[in-house]
Structure 1
Amino acid sequence: MNDQICVGAIAGAFGVQGEVRLKSFTSDPEAIADYAPLTTEDGSQSFEIQLTRAIPQGFAARLTGVRSKEDADALKGIRLFAPRDRLPSLLDDEYYHADLIGLAVYDTGGVELGRVRAVLNHGASDILEITTPGNSAAILLPFTLAAVPTVDISAGRIVADPPEGLFD
């Protein structure tokens, strides 16, 4: 399990006064500010966050040390992380995406299907992107109880019951 969880990303500058466009990946988008200070993935930078207003696909925000449009533009694409212990506890059937990436995926008969490369969400629900041995194309598996009846983080495995023909 990762000690740091990605909770947001900087999408670029917002205006000319040093505000940034901030995308929140938290279940309650405004809660991202509650987990500050947030750090870059390598831990080289740390930011306190003040959300100034909601904007399409995120927030306008002020970050400590960011005073100009140029400072904000330089941070475009930076992902922001919070320590796991600062985040809320999860229910039994909830998972941080970071904990699912890399897990082996098995079918209900115990045959390994592949590994989780990414967790995608395009609005409706999460989708597991699974890489399979000897195949360059990824398989997209809905992350629903019907398609993924078992997730065992401690054992490092997922049991899937994929729709017929998905892994053929």
Structure 2
Amino acid sequence: MKPQLITIARIKGAHGVKGEARVQSFTADPAACFTYGPFLDRDGKPFLTPVKWRPQKDDFIVTFREALTREEVAALRGREFCVPRNALPEAGKDEFYITDLIGLRAVTSDGQAAGRVVAVENFGAGDLLEIEGDEGRFYVAFTRADVPDVDLAGGIVTIVMPDTDDTPENG
């Protein structure tokens, strides 16, 4: 069975003329993404091996073991780096990885089925759970108020249904 892969970083573009890359990390400790050994591609095959990195603004400037030209790095822009899910440290109490939410059943606070979590998105204003239910897809803000309980062992997230009354109030 192919291991579940988690995206931990991506190439934002080339840096300089020596084949270095600007890399955006998605790990809680941004530099930790370089401690997992060679980066894997989405198929789980070793792709690039970081050997040196230094922070710069919101990114890292990375040199890889594999000799790359500036043009080769530029062509890799947007390429994601992955690691097997089981390579990540265990989440602490009341913590979890976003990827662990995908596929969980969503129920309302009164126990009614609402659908399944199909994605976790962030369009700039915070994380949103994308739920697919009988009536289609909808989003719920991933906050403690709107998602009061995440039960990974039970495979359930409890959600507060968004208010869908679009009727303006007369005042």
What's the TM-score, normalizing by structure 1?
0.82
Report the counterpart of residue 100 of structure 1 in structure 2.
101
Are residues 107 and 51 of structure 1, via their aligned partners in 2, closer, same or farther at CA, if it must alter by over 3 Å?
farther
Q: 1:36 touches 1:47 (CA, 8 Å); kept in 2? A: no
Residue type of the alignment partner of 2:147: V
Report the counterpart of residue 35 of structure 1 in structure 2.
36
Instruction: Please say which structure displays the higher CA radius of gyration.
Output: 2
Are residues 66 and 93 of structure 1, via their aligned partners in 2, closer, same or farther at CA, if it must alter by over 3 Å?
farther
Cα distance in structure 2, aligned partners of 1:112 and 1:40: 36
How far residue 63 of structure 1 moved from its aligned partner, in angstroms, is 2.1
Cα distance in structure 2, aligned partners of 1:152 and 1:92: 12
How far residue 129 of structure 1 moved from its aligned partner, in angstroms, is 2.2
Report the counterpart of residue 15 of structure 1 in structure 2.
16
How far residue 116 of structure 1 moved from its aligned partner, in angstroms, is 1.9
How far residue 163 of structure 1 moved from its aligned partner, in angstroms, is 4.7
Report the counterpart of residue 160 of structure 1 in structure 2.
159
% of aligned pairs identical?
A: 36
Report the more deviating stretch, 109-118 or 96-105: 109-118
How far residue 87 of structure 1 moved from its aligned partner, in angstroms, is 1.9
Q: The residue matched to 2:31 in structure 1 has which SS?
A: helix
Q: Is residue 60 of structure 2 the alignment partner of residue 59 of structure 1? A: yes
* Unmatched tracts of structure 2, length 5 or more: 166-171
Report the counterpart of residue 140 of structure 1 in structure 2.
139
Number of paired residues?
Answer: 163
* Unmatched tracts of structure 1, length 5 or more: none
Cα distance in structure 1, aligned partners of 2:102 and 2:11: 22
How far residue 7 of structure 1 moved from its aligned partner, in angstroms, is 0.8
Report the more deviating stretch, 53-62 or 20-29: 53-62
Superposition CA RMSD, Å? 2.3
Report the more deviating stretch, 117-126 or 24-33: 117-126
Report the counterpart of residue 82 of structure 1 in structure 2.
83
How far residue 66 of structure 1 moved from its aligned partner, in angstroms, is 4.0
Cα distance in structure 2, aligned partners of 1:144 and 1:51: 37
